[in-house]
Structure 1
Amino acid sequence: MTATKPYVVGIAGSSGSGKTFFLNCFVNHFASHEIALISQDDYYIPAHTKTQEENKRYNFDVPTAIDRNAFYRDIRLLFEGHTVCREEYTFNNPALKPKTIVIRPAPLLIVEGLFIFFYEEINNLLNHRIFLHAEPDIALQRRLKRDLVERGYHEEDVRYKWVNHVVPAYRQYLLPFREQCDRIVINNTDDPAPIIAITDEISAELRNIVPGLNHPS
């Protein structure tokens, strides 16, 4: 199957940097046939392969926690014009039933995740890189709110992983690539207006350079 290579935007940020809200705002600027999103989070090696004790302290914030080969393979499949199906990862929350995610090829491909710059084979595919940052105390409060409410974790566990897993991983696998990114977005406020404005600006720029994207009338 022949296909036109998509324009690839890589988006990464520290935990609690507001990446989910940023991505939602960004994606909403485009029609469904114009944009595809593939997330590293859906390529975690299944936690049920670990014992219950291992899972309590299992480090999800290392590159080996991801099925790196499958992540890269599916990105390449999108490049070749194929549709990718993947089961959503639910972060060990038994209350959530995983959905099947269907990713169809599009002229604009968003690749997001903590290790997308560290994985050299994926970083080499990116045309544009966006780095999201929030101050550590703000990021931790956001992480606590998310993990306690959405994922059902205990606060002690969240704080342990923050100190021992999350922050070291950010410093080792993401922060060194910050200055290589095309745009650094500082997100220290929960006011949505600045993020909406930034995504307005980026989407307008992309419509001028990416073939296959419609220009608003």
Structure 2
Amino acid sequence: MNIPSFVIGIAGGTGAGKTTVARRLAEAVGEPVTRIPLDNYYEDLSHLEYEERESVNYDHPSAFEWELLREHLETLLLGQSIEMPQYDFEAHNRKDERVPVEPTDVIVLEGIFSLYDEEILDMLDLRIYVLTDADVRILRRIDRDVVDRGRDLEEVIDQYLETVKPMHEQFVEPTKKEADVIIPEGANRSALALLIEKVESELDDDREDPGALGRTRDDGSVVDSSATR
């Protein structure tokens, strides 16, 4: 049983570069990293017809199954494996199959609302917000949704204007205040290098003192994570 020693949350707007930061961090750390994409935890809407699923606001916090995500993170923190749901973006619905995920020393939760939920915030050792210009983000979103997810261009643009942009301003951007680290313009090399150095340092400290489960916040207080580890 492997009990994780460092949990990271990476948030930011759509197309900000969150996944790129998570991947490069995983590559640089030099050991297994468990990545948990928040998108996998969209609510199961199999009870709705396709047309109804199309009209759902997927950029609102209520679109996610928070209880299941909390349960899975807590399970991983106890050193136990989970069966992670998968999502079909063309069908706007959760797939039938699940993927087994094993805990590793480092766990990365990545998605627009990774810094939104109070209970999940308490599980994170490092909170990151990726800050990228809105024009860059919309172009990346169009490329991803049209090329990778088979969406119609007009549909993607309408969705951005109707829900993505207003939901970002109302719910996503305010979570920036919860961040310990803000990375500008996606995978900024200097910021990413500092982040990698920080994670490697924390892992080294945990190996030297495996019983140290508390972490110090900016206000000087210590958040004791022993209850979930």
Paired residues of 2:40 and 2:85 also in contact (CA < 8 A): yes
User: Which of 180, 193, 200 matches 1:182?
Assistant: 180
Matching of residues 145-164 of structure 1 within 5 Å? 145-164=143-162
Q: Which runs of no fewer than 5 residues in structure 2 stay unpaired?
A: 209-229
- Please tell me whether residue 7 in structure 1 is matched to residue 10 in structure 2: no
Question: Equivalent pairs: percent with the same residue?
Answer: 25
Residue 142 of structure 1, CA deviation: 0.8
* Counterpart-to-counterpart distance in 2, 1:195 and 1:103: 29
Matching of residues 3-42 of structure 1 within 5 Å? 4=3, 6-33=5-32, 35-42=33-40
Residue 212 of structure 1, CA deviation: 4.1
Amino acid at match of 2:27: N
* Counterpart-to-counterpart distance in 1, 2:102 and 2:34: 6
**Local SS of the residue matching 1:170:** helix
Amino acid at match of 2:16: S
Residue 4 of structure 1, CA deviation: 4.5
**Local SS of the residue matching 1:125:** coil
Amino acid at match of 1:195: N
Residues paired across the two proteins, number? 204
**Local SS of the residue matching 2:159:** helix
Q: Which runs of no fewer than 5 residues in structure 1 stay unpaired?
A: 189-193
Deviation by residue 1:113-168 (Cα, 9 ceiling, x = unmatched): 22222211101211211111211111111111110111111112111111121112
Matching of residues 69-148 of structure 1 within 5 Å? 69-92=67-90, 100-148=98-146
Name the residue aligned to 1:191: none
Change over 3 Å in CA distance of 1:212–1:88 after alignment to 2: farther
Amino acid at match of 1:124: D
TM-score if structure 1 supplies the norm length?
Answer: 0.83
Paired residues of 1:56 and 1:157 also in contact (CA < 8 A): no
Residue 180 of structure 1, CA deviation: 3.0
Bigger Cα displacement from structure 2, 51-60 vs 122-131: 51-60
* Counterpart-to-counterpart distance in 1, 2:88 and 2:188: 26
* Counterpart-to-counterpart distance in 1, 2:10 and 2:126: 9
**Local SS of the residue matching 2:28:** coil
Amino acid at match of 1:182: D
Name the residue aligned to 1:200: 193
Amino acid at match of 1:149: V
**Local SS of the residue matching 2:113:** coil
Deviation by residue 1:151-200 (Cα, 9 ceiling, x = unmatched): 11111211111112111221122211213311111217xxxxx6344333
User: Which of 54, 59, 62 matches 2:60?
Assistant: 62
Deviation by residue 1:81-108 (Cα, 9 ceiling, x = unmatched): 10112232121359xx887433221222
* Counterpart-to-counterpart distance in 2, 1:65 and 1:173: 13
